Amino acid sequence: MRIAAIVVAAGSGERFGAAKQFLSLGSSSITAHSVAAARSVASFVIVVVPAEYDGRGEGADVVVEGGATRSASVRSGLAHCAGYDAVVIHDAARPLASSDLFHRVVDALGPDVDGAIPGVAVVDTLKMVSGSLPATVLSTVDRDTVVAVQTPQAFRLSALRTAHASGLNATDDAALLEEIGATVIVVAGETSNRKITTPDDLVWAQTQWELA
């Protein structure tokens, strides 16, 4: 199977206060770690960056400019995936995803499986609420019926293209495949595969990196 990877790194880092994906973790950038991990399964790696990016490519084969949303950034990368059978999409902001995890999602693809995504159990109790906080509790969600989903997410190229043809936006690619009725399965994710969203997450990742 010919596999390409798209590492999306075109976010503005609004919640962090800066484009955190180009900060250092050890001797290379957060995004360069994500690109290196993607290379463990992909023979071609595309990194999607903001328009103002002036770096040296983070170790990827191709650098492309992203869009206003995560989904638009994925579509920028997808335009360069012709000829591949499957595409793995990874958030640059998850530099600690293991190469095992990349293999796990790719190995789970098959004739009847269009997509495979990592998920981890939810440990907190979940409530449905009326809106942004403070809010009224509506009900309690059975946490055994939900998982928290991560990247890398692997898809058969044909299904991914069909899903993105809608031009819709979603917080992950699997959501767009769900919309077209494609089959997406969840494999075991990694609790260490935390997304770097706040400065605290970066401090945590640096500690993990030093311990590894």
Residues at the contact surface with ligand C5P, assessed by CB under 6 A = 8-11, 21, 48, 66-70, 73, 91-93, 171
Beta carbon nearer to ligand C5P, 92 or 184: 92
Beta carbon nearer to ligand C5P, 93 or 182: 93
Beta carbon nearer to ligand C5P, 140 or 191: 191
Beta carbon nearer to ligand C5P, 113 or 147: 147
Minimum gap (Å) between residue 72 Cβ and ligand C5P? 6
Minimum gap (Å) between residue 66 Cβ and ligand C5P? 4
Minimum gap (Å) between residue 67 Cβ and ligand C5P? 6
Minimum gap (Å) between residue 129 Cβ and ligand C5P? 21
CB of 129 closer than 8 Å to CB of 136 = yes
CB of 86 closer than 8 Å to CB of 75 = no
**Of all residues in this chain, which one has the CB nearest to ligand C5P in the complex?**
11
Minimum gap (Å) between residue 168 Cβ and ligand C5P? 14
A 10 A CB-CB count for 113 gives 16
Beta carbon nearer to ligand C5P, 158 or 198: 198
